[in-house]
Amino acid sequence: MPTNQTPLIASDAHLAHAGLIELLAGQEVPCFESPQRATVIRDALLATGDYALEAPEDHGPDPIAAVHELELLDFVEHVWTDAVAHGWDAARPLLPDTFLLRGYAAGMTLDQLPAKRHLRLGAYCFDTATPIVAGTASAARASVDIALTAADRVLDGAQLAYGLCRPPGHHAGRNLIGGYCFFNNAAIVAESLVARGAARVAILDVDFHHGNGTQQIFWRRSDVLYVSLHGDPGGIYPYYSGYATERGADSGEGATVNLPLPAGTDGDAYLSSLGEALEAIAAFDADAPLVLSLGFDTYHADPICNLALQTDDYARIGSAIATLGMPVVALQEGGYAVDALGANAAAFLDALRAPRSARGQDMP
């Protein structure tokens, strides 16, 4: 591989996580989180010649179990086969209809779950937009392996590696799926960096949505900084987290930084909030690569979001992140304007891998 190429870790396992529907505003619609999203990004990056496509390596279940409860792994792994074995029509995705809201009433408890996993959907899922089909478990596992392989490449010496994760991860909590997410790829990478000896790991989340799962997982941790820019939870999914007042707890107080953004935020305003995020990350002084939760649902034409970024803005954001001077493990999260995803990903990653300010300066 020529040294100037950036590793692009991707797999076709996600293609079978398809035929998905979600309930959006009371309507059954085709899931915005589609296989085409990953296909167009991969093709656009490969067309530049600057990325080297590589398959993920199998890292096994242990790095997932370091972040998620074993019962969640078991659920994701086996819920589909349980359902089909008990008469579920395999042409239809599984979606929960009855949620276990912890503490809602006496008697609603995780201690007495239905024996069949598909009857427990609402105990492990927090929304109606995270469908499960036959290919979901292997896609979710491959997505984690993509993230961990990208991290391996950066630890091997690459300044940047891009994990084309699908399904995404940042909404998945310790014991909950949701927001199209099953396993929290970014959290699993951050935890694996700690396991490999890092004292401080920083996660920057630029997906349009608050990464409630990542925040939950590291809420009480002082060794993992979570910094997120996102749509104001006052009106935006996931609604119940992401306010600036949420700063972590116990020894983790101050190691969660939330920067909510008003509807219509454009590139200039975004860059100004990003400046605050980057200051917090620089001050944290991580001794590991930056873990980047990368979403393009901040785009002005995204069908489910409300910011106003243009394709050029992604180059500005990539260049700004590059000023940290940190190696970066970039992991794909959301972004649903399929026609623009390739251009936005190329603009962002090109700027991050070869920042404009540095171009032509470090070559003899």
Q: In Å, what is the CA distance from 102 to each residue of 111, 122, 129, 137, 174?
A: 11, 11, 20, 25, 14
Angstrom distance (rounded) from CA 102 to CA 66: 23
Bridge-based pairing of strands 328-332 and 290-294 is parallel
CA nearest neighbour of 328 among 116, 144, 128, 147:
147
Residue 120, both tokens: 């427990």
Q: Is 246 in the site for ligand SP5 (CB under 6 A)?
A: no
Q: Is 173 in the site for ligand SP5 (CB under 6 A)?
A: no
User: Which one of residues 10, 41, 129, 137 is an interface residue with ligand SP5 (CB under 6 A)?
Assistant: 129
Q: Is 230 in the site for ligand SP5 (CB under 6 A)?
A: no
Q: Which is nearer to ligand SP5, 297 or 313 (CB)?
A: 297
Q: How many residues bind ligand SP5 (CB under 6 A)?
A: 15
Q: Is 207 in the site for ligand SP5 (CB under 6 A)?
A: yes
Angstrom distance (rounded) from CA 122 to CA 184: 19
- Partner whose footprint covers residue 168, from Zn ion, ligand SP5, none (CB < 5 to 8 Å by kind): ligand SP5
Is residue 147 within 8 Å of residue 162, measured between CB atoms? no
Q: Is 302 in the site for ligand SP5 (CB under 6 A)?
A: no
**What angle is formed at CA 291 by the lines to CA 289 and CA 295, rounded to 5 degrees?**
145
Q: Is 59 a residue of the active site?
A: no
* Residues found near Zn ion in the complex (CB under 5 A): 207-209, 295, 297, 334
Q: Min. distance of Cβ 207 from Zn ion in angstroms?
A: 4
Q: Which is nearer to ligand SP5, 143 or 149 (CB)?
A: 143
Q: Which is nearer to Zn ion, 181 or 225 (CB)?
A: 181
Collapsed DSSP state (helix, strand, coil) of residue 53: strand
Q: Is 183 in the site for ligand SP5 (CB under 6 A)?
A: no
Q: Which is nearer to ligand SP5, 9 or 129 (CB)?
A: 129
Q: Min. distance of Cβ 127 from ligand SP5 in angstroms?
A: 7
In the block, residue with structure tokens 């086996």: 78
Residue numbers annotated as active site = 171
